[in-house]
């Protein structure tokens, strides 16, 4: 494939379409791809972890029109204080309804900047430039944005589609291996829920063994899968929840492990959550144990964890699952597999089976 490639995310019953420009080096063409001339003002909100990328971008964009604000990235940035700071930055720069905000960074930064843009003047144009693998295949696409509040993740947020999304795999050159691995879990998830051949490909070797050109193709395919899920169900009323595969237990592992000395990344927790969900899929009579074995072997071959890094109390994990905002009336709902490459959402699973799944992934 010749890059940049463009995938268009088109919502049903709307004339809105968000192009996703993907490819190595695509960042240098942002001004032309996004036709930045048409905006009254352009500002950049950037993640300090991606500072070199932001400086390069700021130089290419007409400086008389652009301003940049760089804040420390990571989960901590999704705060009400930063939201206020961004709104202040927008008013200081006299942004109006025809202005554009470009958010460059990890998923946390693009969630924050996207929410600030979605709420300023009831919503102005936004372009995320995700600079972690997780953000490129997941957080940057789909229009969900938000901040954490009162200790609850993503409690305040919005769904608003960006006017475009720019994904340049070359921005990942300095990304720590552990962050690369975290994003790769979502890629493996895309194969498991939507495309058996893709699952075989992305689990044929370790996540760290892919070259940049190969990674560009992988990111491209993952974006197609995420786009299809969003187009079919933009407000997550049903089928989009297939993307939650591995996340019911994954989110619980993520939050519980953060209270221990071995916190997991989001992707590591999701990988372990996927192992549990494959096991549950067998117990619910949806896939065979041969299929389960292929899934778990693939997850391991991709270099992802299949067991918890330390012992976590099952009761604590179950409590975290029922507190999750995706659970309905305290009952956790699972996305399960009906095949390698096909998922079913909203499955209620008996507590005994959930407990068995937890003991399966417990550190021995």
Binding footprint of ligand NAD on the chain (CB under 6 A)? 47-50, 73-75, 78, 105-109, 111, 131-132, 134-135, 138-139, 142, 144, 154, 171-172, 174-175, 179, 182, 266
- Nearest CA to 133 out of 107, 109, 108, 155 is that of 107
Minimum distance between the CB of residue 188 and ligand NAD, rounded to whole angstroms?
15
Minimum distance between the CB of residue 207 and ligand NAD, rounded to whole angstroms?
14
Active-site residue, 190 included: no
Minimum distance between the CB of residue 338 and ligand NAD, rounded to whole angstroms?
24
- Nearest CA to 160 out of 45, 11, 7 is that of 11
Active-site residue, 144 included: yes
Active-site residue, 93 included: no
Q: Which of 236, 301, 307, 326 is catalytic?
A: 236
Active-site residue, 220 included: no
Q: Which of 181, 266, 283, 333 is catalytic?
A: 266
Minimum distance between the CB of residue 258 and ligand NAD, rounded to whole angstroms?
13
Minimum distance between the CB of residue 181 and ligand NAD, rounded to whole angstroms?
11
CB of 130 or CB of 298, closer to ligand NAD = 130
CB of 50 or CB of 312, closer to ligand NAD = 50
Active-site residue, 197 included: no
CB of 143 or CB of 349, closer to ligand NAD = 143
Active-site residue, 82 included: no
CB of 75 or CB of 356, closer to ligand NAD = 75
CB of 112 or CB of 349, closer to ligand NAD = 112
Q: Which of 94, 122, 259, 364 is catalytic?
A: 122
Active-site residue, 24 included: no
Active-site residue, 67 included: no
Which residue in the block uniquely carries the two structure tokens 């944005």? 145
Query: So which residues are the catalytic ones?
Result: 122, 144, 186, 226, 236, 240, 244, 247, 251, 266
């Amino acid at each position: 494939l010749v890059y940049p490639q463009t995938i268009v995310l088109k919502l049903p019953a709307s004339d809105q379409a968000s192009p996703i420009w993907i490819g190595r080096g695509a960042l240098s063409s942002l001004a032309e791809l996004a036709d930045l001339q048409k905006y009254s003002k352009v500002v950049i909100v950037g993640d300090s972890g991606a500072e070199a990328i932001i400086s390069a971008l700021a130089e290419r964009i007409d400086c008389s029109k652009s301003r940049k604000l760089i804040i420390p990235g990571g989960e901590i940035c999704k705060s009400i204080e930063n939201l206020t700071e961004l709104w202040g930055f927008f008013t200081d720069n006299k942004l109006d309804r025809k202005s554009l905000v470009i958010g460059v960074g990890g998923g946390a930064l693009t969630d924050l900047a996207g929410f600030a843009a979605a709420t300023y003047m009831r919503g102005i144009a936004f372009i995320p430039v995700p600079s972690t693998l997780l953000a490129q295949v997941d957080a940057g696409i789909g229009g969900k944005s938000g901040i954490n509040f009162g200790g609850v993740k993503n409690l305040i947020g919005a769904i608003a589609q960006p006017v475009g999304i720019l994904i340049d795999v070359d921005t990942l050159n300095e990304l720590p291996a552990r962050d690369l691995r975290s994003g790769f879990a979502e890629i493996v998830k895309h194969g498991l829920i939507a495309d058996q051949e893709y699952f075989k490909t992305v689990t044929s070797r370790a996540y760290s063994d892919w070259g940049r050109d190969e990674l560009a193709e992988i990111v491209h395919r993952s974006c197609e899968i995420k786009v299809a899920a969003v187009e079919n169900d933009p407000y997550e009323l049903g089928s989009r929840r297939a993307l939650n595969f591995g996340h019911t237990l994954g989110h619980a592992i993520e939050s519980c492990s953060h209270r221990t000395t071995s916190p997991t990344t989001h992707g590591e927790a999701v990988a372990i959550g996927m192992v549990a969900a494959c096991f549950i899929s067998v117990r619910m009579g949806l896939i065979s144990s041969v299929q389960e074995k292929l899934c778990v072997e693939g997850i391991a071959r991709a270099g992802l964890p299949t067991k918890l890094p330390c012992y976590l109390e099952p009761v604590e994990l179950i409590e975290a699952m029922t507190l999750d905002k995706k659970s309905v009336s305290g009952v956790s709902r699972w996305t399960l597999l009906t095949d390698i490459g096909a998922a079913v959402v909203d499955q209620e699973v008996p507590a005994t089976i959930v407990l068995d799944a937890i003991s399966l992934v417990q550190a021995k």
